Amino acid sequence: MSIPLLSTLIFFPILGGLSLLIVPRQQTATIKIMALIVSLIEFALCAPIFLLFDKTTFAMQFVEVHPWIKALHINYALGIDGISVLFLLLTALIIVLSILVSWQSITTKVQEFFISLLLLEGAMMGVFCATDFFLFYIFWEAMLIPMFLIIGVWGGPNRIYATVKFFLFTLVGSLLMLVGVILLYQNGGHTFDILKLAGQPYSLKLQLILFWAFFAAFAVKVPMWPVHTWLPDAHTEAPAAGSVILAGVLIKMGAYGFLRFSLPILPDATREMMLPMLVLSVIAIVYGAIICLAQTDLKRLIAYSSVSHMGFVTLGMFALNQHGLEGAILQMINHGVVTGALFLAIGMVYERTHTREITAYGGLATTMPVFAGFFLLFTLAAVGLPGTNGFIGEFLILLGSFERAPWTAVVAASGLILGAWYMLWLYQRIFFNEVNEAMHGLKPLDLREILTLLPMVLLIFWIGLYPNALLGFLHVSVGHLLDQVNGLGLAGQAAPLTLALHP
């Protein structure tokens, strides 16, 4: 009997989190150690999946299917392909680092905080593993609850406003997605099986309705312009771990939703909506970068940079070619690593200064030289320096978008210039201005903090210098996804794919 690896990845952190309830709440050290051990074991459990994964097939692997609600043909169905496997590894790593960065900063309701982190990990794993749309929706909604608590209970002074805004934006989008799921069930042979739904010939009118119903949920989560306004507030008020998870994993789920549902299930609507999605993407790239130049708060600046960087992801995705899609998926991983690392670093310096105002800093290269070195690496990766992971993803996206519509690549390239401007300017103001008196005497990074940042440094150079380590997982699955978008899975020949720039 084979081991249900995917179910283990989902329920082990959930059970591990609930096991913290048996520990007296005053024993905070024990709670932290147990939470870290659970997260490390979860990360280790990803190793067999990574090593045993077959890169030569687009079929779902490690499949688990069990009848659940027979009357509605709902199954407990799990499986992963080359698109989803990388996100399991990213999620497991991000949770380990989130626990480490919270080791000293979380001082109230410690037990509840680490339980929330582990419950959130289980729900996020479920999102990436589910192959039944109903099960996917359950996990999609379930992850809102611990994230709501993490921001609302352990966040900053305006945490209630940020939490309510985050919850309302995501809940409204999710409810519209639920309407779409029901419509899809009724018109797709009364099944929630994602693979079967992708093989049904829906009318263009129905596909367009479903596309926008799913867009409401996925675009909010990305977040795409103009439904991005919840993100800066959530990032600003969230504790360091909350910001790391938001940037590292949570906002990737919107783009993952497009990849898993909109493109393969609604191919005609995807091709029809290609131009509007490309336009929204380039607006997000330029708008997010320009807004970053006006920010005075460290976390808000990085939050708006996420709007710009995720614009690159949707640009590559809706270029609907191999280069663009592979670049988009790789950039999702890269953004999780780099932006997650930046939020980890900001959380560490905030513990020492208790301010996020950029003008309050200055001269940290003198007072915290090791920290300055780490932050420089993360900054260079964020601006896409060749040799770092940020370069190859952006290069593939620009290549793919140029193949589809050259003007989109030209406009997006201006976002790269603006990105270098605001990130290098940020670094100059924090580390190389005149030393602010309040910054004297800051303690250097300790061993725990260095070990927290080190995995991100290794990933930045590993992916940057050997991108095929990740791209190898994507080639076959992305090729199959493009076949589905082009209609090869149904008609045997590709439907014409054009980009109309005039009536």
Q: Which residue has the tokens 């002074």?
A: 157
* CA-CA-CA-CA dihedral for 183, 85, 5, 115, to nearest 10: -80
Contact indicator for 305, 228 with CB cutoff of 8 Å: no
Residue 493 has what pLDDT? Answer: 37
Residue 92 has what pLDDT? Answer: 93
Query: For 111-157, what is each residue's pLDDT tens digit?
Result: 999 999 999 999 999 999 999 989 999 999 898 889 888 988 888 88
Query: For 44-102, what is each residue's pLDDT tens digit?
Result: 998 888 888 888 888 888 989 898 888 888 889 999 998 899 999 999 999 999 999 88
User: Does 313 reside within a domain?
Assistant: yes
Contacts for 248-251: CB closer than 8 Å, 24+ residues apart: 248/90, 248/91, 248/94, 248/336, 248/337, 248/339, 248/340, 248/343, 249/87, 249/90, 249/91, 249/94, 249/124, 249/336, 250/124, 250/143, 250/147, 250/221, 251/221, 251/222, 251/223, 251/306, 251/310
User: Does 41 reside within a domain?
Assistant: no
Q: Is the pLDDT of residue 501 over 70?
A: no
The whole domain housing 341 covers 273-491
Burial 213-250 (b: 16+ CB within 10 A, else e): bbbbbbbbbbbbbebbebbbbbbbbbbbbbbbbbbbbb
Mean pLDDT confidence for 10-32? 91
Domain count, the chain: 1
Query: For 373-421, what is each residue's pLDDT tens digit?
Result: 999 999 999 998 999 998 998 999 999 999 888 999 999 999 899 999 9
Q: Is the pLDDT of residue 502 over 80?
A: no
Angle (deg, nearest 10), helices 389-404 and 369-382 = 10
Q: Which of 7-16, 26-35, 216-225, 335-344 has the lowest mean pLDDT?
A: 216-225
User: Does 157 reside within a domain?
Assistant: no
Please name every residue paired with 66 in a beta bridge, in sequence order, or none if there are none. 76
Query: For 262-312, what is each residue's pLDDT tens digit?
Result: 899 888 898 988 999 999 999 999 999 999 988 888 888 998 888 898 999
Better-scored residue on pLDDT, 495 or 15: 15
Q: Which of 110-119, 333-342, 352-361, 473-482 has the lowest mean pLDDT?
A: 352-361
Cα–Cα distance for residue pair 475/468, rounded to 1 Å: 10
Give 435's DSSP letter. Answer: P
Residue 496 has what pLDDT? Answer: 43
Query: For 254-270, what is each residue's pLDDT tens digit?
Result: 899 999 888 998 888 98
User: Does 53 reside within a domain?
Assistant: no
Q: Is the pLDDT of residue 3 over 80?
A: no
Q: Is the pLDDT of residue 495 over 80?
A: no
User: Does 483 reside within a domain?
Assistant: yes
Q: Is the pLDDT of residue 490 over 60?
A: no
Residue 358 has what pLDDT? Answer: 86
Q: Using 50, 70 and 90 to split pLDDT, how confident is the model at 494?
A: very low
Percent of the chain exceeding pLDDT 90 equals 37
pTM over 0.85? The answer is yes
Q: Using 50, 70 and 90 to split pLDDT, how confident is the model at 107?
A: confident
Residue 488 has what pLDDT? Answer: 54
User: Does 235 reside within a domain?
Assistant: no
Mean pLDDT confidence for 469-485? 89
User: Does 318 reside within a domain?
Assistant: yes
Q: Using 50, 70 and 90 to split pLDDT, how confident is the model at 337?
A: very high
425 CB contacts (<8 Å, ≥6 apart)?
293
User: Does 228 reside within a domain?
Assistant: no
